[in-house]
Structure 1
Amino acid sequence: MSFTLPTPTAAERNRLARLFAQIASDAGTRVMEVYESNFETRTKADYSPVSDADERAEEVILARLEQDLPGIPVLAEERASREGVGGQIWDAFILVDPVDGTKEFIQRKGDFTVNIALICGGYTVAGAVFAPARREMYLGGGAAEVFEGFLPGETVTQGQKLVTRAYPPEGLTAITSASHLDERTKAFLAARKIAGQTAIGSSLKFCWVAAGKADVYPRWGPTMEWDTAAGHAVLNAAGGVVTQPDGAPFVYGKGGEGFRNGPFIAWGREPV
């Protein structure tokens, strides 16, 4: 599959998002095979947990990307953990997190996701997020779609259009990390009219804002680019925006910083 650089067209972004969704669907079968077994976990060099699901899913994803998008650099979490990352700078590259929310996976909470996204010129332009245990598939390119009741390995067809909601007059619903809620996040929420607050693991937070289940997702805790790019693409395509706390654009390709993210705010509509 080819696409226009530096900026793919809306139609190309839609095709790429569908491709990523199909690859994530197929990888989801490997994830669920492990999830439904008596699996073991290990600790990586950065002290984060990993299971066979991460590695098996990443194998599927990397093989498919090499087949369908040859020549496009891929930065995948588990391979990066083994081999390290340098100060690479690419005009276009793909970010892969085979299992985001590994803690939720290990605890069998279901709130974990398979994530694939394309970055062009520092911006996420197409992505797919699949929550196989919840049977929810989200994709975002030129437009955003959701598939509910979507089984691992299922063929991606036409989903339901996804659009963020207008901010309710009674106040915003905030969604936060299930495992990272620091004082800066609390201060951000305290300074705004918040009518409700919920928490969930993984990149589903972006998807819930995209689906109108929440209005804002603030994050000061540590994340990597592969944690956020796919969900960010879904939210962008649904009408949302992700910025740094000062309102500056939230960008990708930060090779000099080890592809680590700074703090960000994900909004359903314009920041308030």
Structure 2
Amino acid sequence: MSQMNTLEQVLAIAKQAGAEIMQIYARDFDVMDKSDSSPLTEADLAAHKTICKGLESMSDLPILSEESASIDWQERQQWSRYWLVDPLDGTKEFIKKNGEFTVNIALIDNGRPVLGVVYAPALDESFIGAEGEGAWREKDGQRTSVVAKPHQAGETWKVVGSRSHQSPEIKTLLEALPGETELVAMGSSLKLCLVACNEAHLYPRIGPTSEWDTAAAHGFVLAAGAKVTVLSADDPAADVIAGNTPELQYNQKESLLNPYFLVSC
């Protein structure tokens, strides 16, 4: 199966999960707390079941989902190729009903996301990409190619921040950038997509995320020609200015938490 065929099939699965989510979004729903006190809704679970069923019909590759993340490291470290899924990224945004939540599905190959689908069901907007094929944004039934472009001299630096998680280090970073800066607020994995779509120049994440939060959008970002690189915890602002940090990778350690990172062109 070609990468494009796979991409279209994964997008169809993401949209099926999105339809499940929107049925629940339209009515009252229960909110539970997971073991780490983060919120969980019935929409997360419904989307998880739909995605797993769809991916299992496509291939026999392992699936690591936020809602089934208890797979032992001894087993997981044997995987070279697998699906990495967040059935509902931005649960806080879902609960707030601001529309900025997504279905995230990535194909990981030897630590790199080689295919990524991000679908925002409330916005009916998709961000899809595959290594060697390209990246596209789909809105209102129209699909357009996406090619990331770096910051140009004289442009105001647009830096993506989070609606739900703000870090004091962001102020230090904004002050370190040469020229005017503007903070662009957005929820869920849409933050990464904004950089690839040239609606922002940088997305520094100086705070906790898990691998399923970023993988699908990371795949889209790479396909568009942008990158996601690791930032140090000691001086992330200096890393942003200096550049040349290593690429963010997946399933390389027991913990599923990401280091700090930067999305840029």
Establish whether TM, by shorter chain, passes 0.5: yes
Aligned position for 2:148: 164
2:229 to 214, 238, 243: 243
Secondary structure at 1:159 match in 2: strand
Q: Structure 1 unaligned segments of length 5 or more: list them.
A: 2-11, 151-157
Q: TM-score, normalised by structure 2?
A: 0.89
Instruction: Give, as a single letter, the amino acid of the residue that structure 2 aligns with 1:112.
Output: F
Aligned position for 1:131: 120
Residue 189 (structure 2) pairs with residue 196 (structure 1): no
Secondary structure at 1:179 match in 2: coil
The CA deviation at 1:161 is: 0.4
Residue 220 (structure 2) pairs with residue 223 (structure 1): no
The CA deviation at 1:249 is: 1.5
Aligned position for 2:199: 213
2:247 and 2:152 map into 1 onto residues whose CA distance is 25
Q: Structure 2 unaligned segments of length 5 or more: list them.
A: 232-238, 240-244
Residue 260 (structure 2) pairs with residue 266 (structure 1): no
Instruction: Give, as a single letter, the amino acid of the residue that structure 2 aligns with 1:265.
Output: L
Q: Deviations over 1:26-47 (max 9, x none)?
A: 1110000000011111111110
Q: TM-score, normalised by structure 1?
A: 0.86
Q: Deviations over 1:129-150 (max 9, x none)?
A: 0000011111010210011025
1:108 and 1:32 map into 2 onto residues whose CA distance is 11
Secondary structure at 2:214 match in 1: helix
Secondary structure at 2:254 match in 1: helix
Aligned position for 1:8: none
The CA deviation at 1:164 is: 1.5
Aligned position for 1:38: 28
Residue 47 (structure 2) pairs with residue 57 (structure 1): yes
Q: Which has the higher contact order (CA 8 A, sep 6+)?
A: 1
The CA deviation at 1:84 is: 5.4
Aligned position for 2:38: 48
- Following TM superposition, the consecutive aligned residue runs of length 4 or more in structure 1 with deviations greater than 4 angstroms are none
Instruction: Give, as a single letter, the amino acid of the residue that structure 1 aligns with 2:252.
Output: K
Amino-acid identity (%): 38
Two-structure CA RMSD over aligned residues (Å): 1.5
Whether contact under 8 Å (2:92, 2:164) holds in the other structure is no
Aligned position for 1:86: 73
